[in-house]
Amino acid sequence: MKLRNTLLPLAGTLALMALCTALPFFWFALRDRQLDGAVQTAATRPEFLSAAGRENPVARELYYWREQSDGVPTYDSGGPVDAAAARQTVLPGLQTLRGVLPDAMQTAAEELVAEAAEVTVSHPADGMTAYDFSAGEERFLRLWYSDGGALVQVNGNVGGGDGFDPAAAAAAYRTMLGLDDFTDWEDADPRGYGDPAPLYSADAQLYLVANIDRGYFNLSVTSVSPEAYAKF
């Protein structure tokens, strides 16, 4: 009886540990099934993502979140977070921008993140998390990450934009995101202020743009259907 009473709690603990270990795998499996279902359901619609798009992780994920939002994105304003923890989270993605941003801007961006006295985190759209770093009244940097880890938007004013060439930055950003395999990229009509260099791929259903206006720069990629793009 004593042995039984000793073994039962141990068996329960081992079962709980096994369940906790398996839960992440179940979550990813469910997420993949949801994504596959969204893609298959869309197959009869004109904005259906191409086979090449479904095989690309960035195009696939952004398309998924676009479909999930059903045109009505959610917004969570979030709030302040621990600056040290936020730095650790964004640093790997920020470092991938080397070669996209001019060296001076890259260094200024990294210094701003290191010095930022105020950091806030929000969820500006479905599947997106935005980190805002502020260092003074004018210097700031915002980085958007998808739940899958893609750096889908970077914008701010890090204290100067010398050497930022929007067309070159757009091409380098596209490479950094792993989107060069799409062969149908085309120059899109510039929109808004500054000196935008927009690109669009119908196969990827992605609209990518680099821009700078009076020191404020922006890099972003968004899932846009061909039908919606035709109305731009």
Confirm if 18 and 10 have CB atoms less than 8 A apart. Answer: no
Q: Grade residue 86 by pLDDT with cuts at 50, 70 and 90.
A: very high
Contact 193, 212 (CB under 8 A): no
| pLDDT bucket at 73, cuts 50 / 70 / 90 | low
Domain edges within the chain: 76-229
Reported as half-sphere exposure (CB side, CA atoms, 13 A), residue 110 has a value of: 14
- For residue 143, pLDDT over 90 is answered with yes
pLDDT, residue 75, reads 72
**Helix or strand (DSSP H, E) at 63:** helix 57-69
d(CA 26, CA 8): 26
Predicted local confidence at residue 160, as pLDDT: 78
pLDDT of residue 37: 52
Both tokens assigned to 67: 């479909």
CB atoms under 10 Å from CB of 200, counted, come to 20
Q: Quick one: which of 210, 204, 195 has its CA closest to 226?
A: 204
Place of tokens 């120059």: 187
Q: What's the rounded Cα separation, in Å, for the pair 231 and 2? A: 76
Q: Report the 10 Å Cβ neighbour count for 111.
A: 14
3-state SS, residue 4:
helix
- Name the nearest CA neighbour of 37 among 68, 73, 6: 68
- Residue pLDDT, tens place only, 154-204: 999 998 778 999 999 999 999 999 999 999 999 999 999 999 999 999 999
Residue 120: beta bridge partners? 80, 132
* Residue bearing the bigger pLDDT, 6 or 111: 111
Q: How confident is the model at residue 16 (pLDDT cuts 50, 70, 90)?
A: very low
Token pair listed for 73: 């994105």
Amino acid letter at 151? L
Segment among 26-40, 114-128, 163-177 with least mean pLDDT = 26-40
